[in-house]
């Protein structure tokens, strides 16, 4: 596909807040949108009342989304697919949609994470499961509520095929949603996955009452960690300092609207981390990505003490007091390191 107008029919897989927000963004860009959700009540609310009260309470819209619980109905014949299901279920969902994905279809990864069981980036999961599809990623500083309300938002869309990234950006752009294109797929994925881990650290610091200065320090030093691992994995500096890297990190590390920040906030206030990852709890991808990020860092000889502390705190192996002590008493170093 070489013409953005051919990306007319968009399948959005995921009935949560982010999936619905992106479905609305695609509608506002003039696309025909088919949204898949598991929950029949959510599908009925979207189709009959232009609302998703379970995930976006209080928000209604004029745009038309066709929602369905049938994956084939959503995917078959779609010009592009936005995959907005949890990162850890990516391989399962790809296997389910495989019969209806045609060669050359962009498959845009909108969840931010690393496959915990294998350490694969989600684009690698796509390449192995659906090699005929074109793996892409969408990431950036964007809360679902803001996008759903049509507030100004800028994101990055990445594909190793630069023309596909350009044309997807054009196809999804509107007066309130501005996508920037890049061919640095690894950089966008790394930024999106690691900022979740660092947001848990910032949330824990705020919840524990460590102050705004500690929060700022964790954000800045966390970005240094993100940049080091990103560079080791082949990400470009300009991507990591852009919307999908630094931009998303700053947003996620500073607001309770972020599930990962809120997850850390609860830990900082004394909640048992294991109770927060129990079935039925709101998903915080950083809780899954922390351990594998540390493993990747060790593999590439990259120092990531904040991410390592998060991995230990989330699993209950380290208290916040001990994590703070370890971070503050590490050997001093120059700012550039």
Give catalytic residues, as residue numbers: 195
Residue 210: name the closest of 83, 89, 98, 320 by CA.
320
Measure the CA–CA gap between 86 and 206, rounded to whole angstroms: 26
Give the span between the Cα atoms of 334 and 221, in whole angstroms: 12
How far apart are the C-alpha atoms of 273 and 221, rounded to whole Å?
23
**Residue 209 backbone class (left: φ over 0; alpha: ψ -120 to 50; beta: rest):** left
Please state, in angstroms and rounded to a whole number, the distance separating the CA atoms of residues 284 and 262.
Answer: 9
3-state secondary structure of 3: coil
Cα–Cα distances in angstroms (integers) from residue 196 to residues 52, 55, 253, 302, in the given order: 25, 20, 8, 18
φ, ψ at 180 (rounded to 5°): -100, 145
**75 exposure class (CB count in 10 Å sphere: 0-12, 13-18, 19+):** buried
Of 27, 29, 35, the residue nearest 11 (C-alpha): 35
Contact assessment for residue 213 and residue 274, using Cβ atoms and an 8 Å cutoff: no
DSSP string, 40-79: HHHHHHHHHHSB-TTTSTT-B-SS--EEES-HHHHHTT-S
What's 145's DSSP letter? H
């Amino acid at each position: 596909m070489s013409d953005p107008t051919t990306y007319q029919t968009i399948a959005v897989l995921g009935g949560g807040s982010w999936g619905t927000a992106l479905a609305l963004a695609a509608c506002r860009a003039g696309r025909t949108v088919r949204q898949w959700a598991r929950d029949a009540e959510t599908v009925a609310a979207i189709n009959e009342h232009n609302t998703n009260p379970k995930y976006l309470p209080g928000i209604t819209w004029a745009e038309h989304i066709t929602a369905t619980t049938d994956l084939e109905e959503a995917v078959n014949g779609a010009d592009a697919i936005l995959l907005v299901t949890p990162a850890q279920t990516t391989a399962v969902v790809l296997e389910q949609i495989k019969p209806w994905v045609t060669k050359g279809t962009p498959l845009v990864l909108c969840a931010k994470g690393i496959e915990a069981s294998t350490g694969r980036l989600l684009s690698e999961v796509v390449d192995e499961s659906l090699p005929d599809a074109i793996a892409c990623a969408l990431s950036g500083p964007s809360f679902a509520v803001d996008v759903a309300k049509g507030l100004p938002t800028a994101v990055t869309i990445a594909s190793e095929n630069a023309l596909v990234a350009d044309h997807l950006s054009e196809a999804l752009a509107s007066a309130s949603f501005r996508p920037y294109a890049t061919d640095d797929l690894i950089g966008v994925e790394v930024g999106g996955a690691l900022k979740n881990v660092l947001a848990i650290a910032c949330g824990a610091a705020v919840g524990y009452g460590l102050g705004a200065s500690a929060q700022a320090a964790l954000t800045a030093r966390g970005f240094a960690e993100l940049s080091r691992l990103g560079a080791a994995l082949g990400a470009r500096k300009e991507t990591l300092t852009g919307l999908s890297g630094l931009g998303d990190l700053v947003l996620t590390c500073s607001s309770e609207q972020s599930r990962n920040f809120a997850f850390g906030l609860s830990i900082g206030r004394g909640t048992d981390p294991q109770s927060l990852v129990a079935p039925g709890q709101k998903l915080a991808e950083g809780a899954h990505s922390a351990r594998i990020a540390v493993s990747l860092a060790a593999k590439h000889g990259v120092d990531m003490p904040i991410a390592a502390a998060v991995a230990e705190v989330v699993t209950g192996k380290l208290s916040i007091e001990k994590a703070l002590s370890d971070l503050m008493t590490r050997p001093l170093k120059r700012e550039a390191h």
